[in-house]
Amino acid sequence: MFEYHIWASRTIMERIQELPASVLHAEVGSSFPTIAHALSHMYAVDRMFYQVLKGEEMPEALQECMALNQTTLTSIDEYITRFAVLTDQYQQWLQSEIDLEQSLLLNNPYVGPRQTRLAEIVLHVVNHGTYHRGNISTMLRQLGHASVMNDYLLFWYQESASSI
């Protein structure tokens, strides 16, 4: 599933890259004030959960990543680079033969503690990204631009085509 998350995020950022640079910071009456704010939020949450997966307590990871959520970058290329670096870190962690069925006490400051499997955290990261890519697609349409398909089904077919 994480490979899908990488592909879908890259797909929507590449679509934004095709558009005028002003689209990134154009004000939109939506879930986020701008697409840049949405991307910053996605990155901050991905980063925070990576730190949790690496063993950091959620309240500390959340505090450390709070500034990332508030800071927008100036260009889509900067977002692509930032996400690529984090993607490499996730992939190294996933390839380290970690047991994704092991659990940890996820002390979520918003809803309380819960024993949570590592696989559930990874699934949450993917699901969270899917939700906000939907927000970004809507924002693109509100700005008068077509979005791009990034459904899981399309990912299957693209993966199948590349292995033929």
Q: Domain holding 151: CATH number?
A: 1.20.120.450
Residue 117's pLDDT band (boundaries 50, 70, 90)?
Answer: very high
Number of domains into which the chain is organized: 1
pTM: 0.94
Domain span at 101:
2-162
| pLDDT tens track for 58-114 | 999 999 999 999 999 999 999 999 999 999 999 999 999 889 999 999 999 999 999
pLDDT tens for residues 127-151?
Answer: 999 999 999 999 999 999 999 999 8
Contact criterion met (CB below 8 Å) for 76 and 21: yes
Helix 35-53 with 118-142: angle, nearest 10 deg:
170
